[in-house]
């Protein structure tokens, strides 16, 4: 599809007056007006569609950016209809389009629901492909190997493997999202999917049937390719190392949920190696050695020193959870000698694998993986020596370690992704569209711009069509302790209980830490039982996110407690959700080594790390959490922000002013009256 391939789909207007700006050669703003207007193609074909000025204006801005191959930052408030606002120009005038969104769930929604709806409404003859990371597709080779060697450890694994084996006989895509009977987080998926390290590539006997290869081929040929941010940046990172392009080149790239990009890009432009990867390699070396070269070595003795060295590296930190910059690790720590030991033992395993590699392709693959992991360890170790030197501008990296209960990760994280991302945008001329409900702080895009390196580009904002002043109330209770108080979560629950009761349940309690989630759940479970309150309680971690949300909607009077994964990408419309409680302002933890390094870099430039980074980041996250409450014109509810710093700190005003324009109160009686009025006079 060429950039101007609307052809007979839309009847175009006559040439515009001299002072008008055409969206493309032959495509004018009037065409967008007609498509989105009352009686237009969308209103005729989409049930419940209503013309919205903000949506139409946003679509015009995107059409113009596509026509001129420009970059556009487009913030659109909740309810604007931003998905249709970018899909219509993309399908009609975008040429080859990549649409990247924040999660696989949103990706599936775009591919299965939104794009087919718009394509049908416009009668647009475009082909569409869905492309996910390889871990989402069942691998024929790894499924067969797992069926043969039976490495299952539980009854669930056996049952799930049977379901996957049946699924493979009927599926056309191999996408595990199609097999809802096997939970997405089931451990069996690790044994029946491939990674970049464990893929046999063109040497695989199943290469012609490979679902990953088929999906990539379809993406190369499609007009519209739907990906997620993780896949997009994984591809960019691979191209940085000289690998072939994973995603096809495109005329237009659209990032939905673009506020997530800085964090996702940082993850992929950095480098991480984990002791878990090394232990997984050891398990595969043992299995492949015994299968194909049993007489070649004492395989248990080959892997044992490497496993021991990997575990000793983790045990260099006795605490359960650790996040330390490399310069915070004491020189006398056991960590540095343990790292040298692991490098030495891993090289010893490589030497053995090299002698046996010709016995089987899978042993050769283990050798290559071991070399790559050794190179990563060596690079991290070498970077610790170089970290004292002053790096070139744009090349700064933060070296840090992160310990979990059973594993240790070594990270090299770029201080800024802006130089790397700009390098990608300097290539083939194309349109870049960045859209989200939360990109600006009080209509100021500087924070997002500086993170992504998007200077001198057009940024526009369109307000939500919702009447927040009539639909919602913002409540900050009196007399809460400081958020660092040991009894803070209990104080939040004490303040929240009468509000939850007045709301009839129908509550999201969003916490900034898992510890707070667990304490809140413990308290509410006891209080509901003691007070005989009939509200079902749903807690993050007790089931998958999708299952919890389905149960929440079905119950109609439930209370759901969650942390970061429920702050965004969650849409509960109607009466099931009438109260959103946020326990604290979502500032990043102060012990985060990357955050500390970024603040240090800002302060060396004479800027204030809190004002220019931490505060805008917290406001954008808070706007996401607050956005869960009002999802429709008929929704009505209370946003309860429990952090006293909103009132006591000078920066509180900036936060207030960035929130939706709810009426505000500090009085519980006003909240109770709001809910009483709602039950007496339901919103139309």
> Which pLDDT does position 195 carry in this prediction?
84
Label residue 150 by pLDDT band (50, 70, 90): low
Q: Is the fold of 271-414 the same as that of 468-680? A: no
What's the whole-number average pLDDT of the chain? 88
Measured CA to CA in angstroms, residue 608 lies from 111, 604, 618 at distances of 43, 9, 15
CA angle, residues 295, 297, 299, in degrees to nearest 5? 110
Cα–Cα distance for residue pair 65/44, rounded to 1 Å: 27
> Which pLDDT does position 185 carry in this prediction?
77
Cα–Cα distance for residue pair 522/520, rounded to 1 Å: 5
Nearest to 26 by CA among 13, 39, 41: 13
- Sheet containing strand 408-414, edge to edge, reads 271-274, 408-414, 397-403, 322-325
Cα–Cα distance for residue pair 533/504, rounded to 1 Å: 9
Cα–Cα distance for residue pair 645/651, rounded to 1 Å: 8
**Dihedral angle computed from the Cα positions of residues 146, 152, 157 and 158, in that order, rounded to the nearest 10 degrees:** 80
The tens digit of pLDDT for each residue in 349-406 reads: 999 999 999 999 889 999 999 999 999 999 999 888 765 544 455 568 899 999 998 8
> Which pLDDT does position 10 carry in this prediction?
35
Between 10-24, 47-61, 78-92, 332-346, the lowest mean confidence (pLDDT) is in: 10-24
> Which pLDDT does position 28 carry in this prediction?
81
> Which pLDDT does position 151 carry in this prediction?
66
Q: Is 71 helix (H, G, I), strand (E, B) or coil?
A: strand
Mention every residue, 6+ apart, whose C-beta is less than 8 A from residue 113.
none
pLDDT at 152 over 90: no
pLDDT at 139 over 60: yes
> Which pLDDT does position 384 carry in this prediction?
83
Nearest to 226 by CA among 382, 111, 81: 111
Q: Are 679 and 643 in contact (CB under 8 A)?
A: no
The tens digit of pLDDT for each residue in 269-301 reads: 888 999 999 999 999 999 999 989 999 999 999
CATH 3.40.50, applies to 271-414:
no
Residue that the structure tokens 């993406």 belong to:
219
CA angle, residues 379, 416, 343, in degrees to nearest 5? 15
Pull the structure tokens for residue 278: 């090394």
Q: Are 595 and 263 in contact (CB under 8 A)?
A: no
Between 30-44, 225-239, 440-454, the lowest mean confidence (pLDDT) is in: 225-239
Mean pLDDT of 188-199: 87
> Which pLDDT does position 566 carry in this prediction?
87
Count Cα neighbours of 371 within 13 Å in the Cβ-side half-sphere.
Answer: 11
How far is Cα of residue 180 from the mean position of the Cα atoms in its chain? 21
Mean pLDDT of 435-464: 93
Give domain limits for the chain. 7-95+430-462, 271-414, 468-680
pLDDT at 2 over 60: no
> Which pLDDT does position 23 carry in this prediction?
41
> Which pLDDT does position 155 carry in this prediction?
83
> Which pLDDT does position 27 carry in this prediction?
63
Nearest to 95 by CA among 120, 65, 117: 65
The hierarchical CATH code for the domain 468-680 is: 3.40.50.300
The tens digit of pLDDT for each residue in 486-512 reads: 999 999 999 999 999 999 999 999 999
Residue that the structure tokens 């399908």 belong to:
91
Return the bridge partners of 408, or none: 403
Cα–Cα distance for residue pair 239/221, rounded to 1 Å: 20
Q: Are 93 and 24 in contact (CB under 8 A)?
A: yes
Measured CA to CA in angstroms, residue 242 lies from 84, 111, 237, 239, 508 at distances of 36, 30, 9, 5, 46
Between 414-418, 421-425, 436-440, 557-561, the lowest mean confidence (pLDDT) is in: 421-425
The tens digit of pLDDT for each residue in 560-608 reads: 999 988 888 788 888 899 999 999 999 988 778 999 999 988 998 899 9
The percentage of residues in the chain with a pLDDT greater than 70, rounded to a whole number, is 92
Cα–Cα distance for residue pair 96/127, rounded to 1 Å: 10
> Which pLDDT does position 459 carry in this prediction?
96
Q: Is 460 helix (H, G, I), strand (E, B) or coil?
A: strand
> Which pLDDT does position 12 carry in this prediction?
32
Measured CA to CA in angstroms, residue 253 lies from 66, 69, 100, 345, 388 at distances of 9, 10, 8, 45, 39
Between 40-54, 383-397, 404-418, 612-626, the lowest mean confidence (pLDDT) is in: 383-397
CA angle, residues 523, 526, 532, in degrees to nearest 5? 130
Cα–Cα distance for residue pair 16/69, rounded to 1 Å: 21
The percentage of residues in the chain with a pLDDT greater than 90, rounded to a whole number, is 64
pLDDT at 46 over 80: yes
Return the bridge partners of 401, or none: 324, 410
> Which pLDDT does position 16 carry in this prediction?
34
The tens digit of pLDDT for each residue in 322-352 reads: 899 998 998 889 999 999 999 999 999 999 9
> Which pLDDT does position 248 carry in this prediction?
64
Measured CA to CA in angstroms, residue 84 lies from 44, 53, 114, 124, 505 at distances of 14, 13, 8, 14, 33
The tens digit of pLDDT for each residue in 522-571 reads: 999 999 999 999 999 999 988 878 888 999 999 999 999 999 888 887 88
């Amino acid at each position: 599809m060429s950039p101007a391939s609307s052809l007979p789909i839309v009847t175009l207007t006559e040439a515009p007056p001299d002072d008008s700006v055409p969206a493309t050669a032959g495509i004018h703003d009037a065409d967008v007006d007609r498509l989105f207007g009352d009686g237009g193609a969308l209103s005729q074909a989409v049930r419940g569609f209503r013309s919205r000025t903000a949506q139409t204006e946003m679509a015009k801005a995107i059409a113009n950016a596509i026509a001129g191959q420009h970059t556009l930052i487009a913030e659109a408030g909740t309810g604007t209809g931003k998905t249709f606002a970018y899909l219509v120009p993309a399908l009609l005038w975008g040429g080859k389009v990549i649409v990247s969104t924040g999660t696989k769930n949103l990706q599936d929604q775009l591919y299965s629901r939104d794009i087919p709806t718009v394509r049908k409404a416009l009668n647009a003859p475009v082909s569409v492909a869905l492309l996910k990371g390889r871990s989402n597709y069942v691998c024929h080779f790894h499924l067969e190997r797992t069926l043969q060697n039976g490495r299952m450890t539980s009854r669930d694994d056996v049952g799930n493997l049977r379901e996957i084996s049946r699924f493979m006989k009927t599926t056309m895509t191999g996408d595990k999202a199609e097999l809802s009977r096997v939970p997405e987080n089931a451990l069996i998926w690790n044994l029946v999917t491939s990674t970049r390290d464990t893929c046999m590539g063109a040497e695989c006997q199943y290469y012609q049937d490979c679902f990953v290869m088929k999906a990539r081929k379809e993406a190369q040929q499609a007009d519209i390719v739907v990906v997620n941010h993780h896949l997009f940046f994984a591809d960019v990172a691979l191209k940085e190392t000289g690998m072939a392009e994973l995603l096809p080149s495109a005329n237009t790239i659209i990032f939905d949920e673009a506020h997530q990009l800085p964090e996702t890009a940082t993850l992929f432009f950095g480098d991480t190696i984990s002791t878990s990867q090394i232990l997984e390699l050891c398990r595969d070396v043992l299995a492949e050695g015994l299968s194909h070269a049993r007489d070649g070595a004492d395989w248990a003795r080959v892997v044992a020193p490497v496993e021991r060295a990997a575990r000793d590296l983790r045990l260099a930190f006795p605490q359960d959870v650790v996040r330390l910059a490399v310069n915070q690790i004491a020189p006398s720590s056991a960590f540095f000698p343990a790292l040298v030991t692991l490098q030495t033992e891993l090289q010893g395993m490589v030497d053995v694998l090299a002698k046996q590699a010709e016995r089987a392709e899978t042993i050769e693959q283990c050798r290559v993986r071991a070399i790559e992991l050794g190179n990563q360890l060596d690079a991290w170790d070498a970077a610790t020596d170089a970290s004292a030197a002053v790096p070139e501008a744009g090349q700064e990296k933060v070296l840090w370690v992160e310990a979990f209960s059973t594993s240790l990760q070594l990270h090299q994280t770029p201080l800024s992704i802006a130089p790397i991302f700009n390098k990608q945008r300097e290539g083939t001329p194309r349109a870049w569209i960045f859209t989200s409900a939360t990109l600006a702080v009080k209509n100021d895009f500087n924070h997002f711009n500086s993170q992504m390196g998007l200077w001198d580009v057009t940024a526009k904002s369109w307000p939500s069509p919702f009447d927040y002043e009539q639909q919602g109330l913002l409540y900050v209770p009196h007399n809460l302790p400081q958020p660092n108080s040991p009894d803070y979560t209990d104080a939040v629950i004490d303040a929240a209980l009468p509000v939850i009761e007045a709301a009839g349940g129908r509550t999201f309690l969003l916490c900034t830490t898992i510890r707070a989630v667990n304490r809140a759940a413990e308290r509410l479970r006891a209080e509901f039982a003691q007070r005989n309150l009939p509200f079902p309680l749903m807690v993050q971690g007790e089931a998958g996110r999708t299952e919890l949300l389905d149960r929440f909607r079905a119950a109609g009077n439930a209370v759901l407690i969650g942390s970061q994964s429920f702050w965004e990408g969650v849409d509960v419309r109607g009466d099931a959700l009438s109260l959103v409680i946020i326990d604290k302002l979502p500032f990043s933890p102060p012990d985060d080594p990357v955050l500390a390094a970024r603040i240090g870099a800002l302060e060396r430039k004479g800027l204030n790390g809190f004002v220019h980074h931490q505060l805008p980041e917290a406001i954008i996250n808070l706007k996401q959490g607050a956005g869960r409450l009002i999802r429709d014109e008929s929704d009505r509810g209370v946003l309860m922000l429990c952090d006293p710093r909103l009132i006591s700190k000078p920066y509180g005003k900036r936060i207030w002013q960035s929130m939706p324009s709810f009426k505000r109160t500090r009085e519980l009686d006003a909240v109770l009256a709001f809910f009483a009025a709602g039950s007496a006079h339901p919103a139309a």
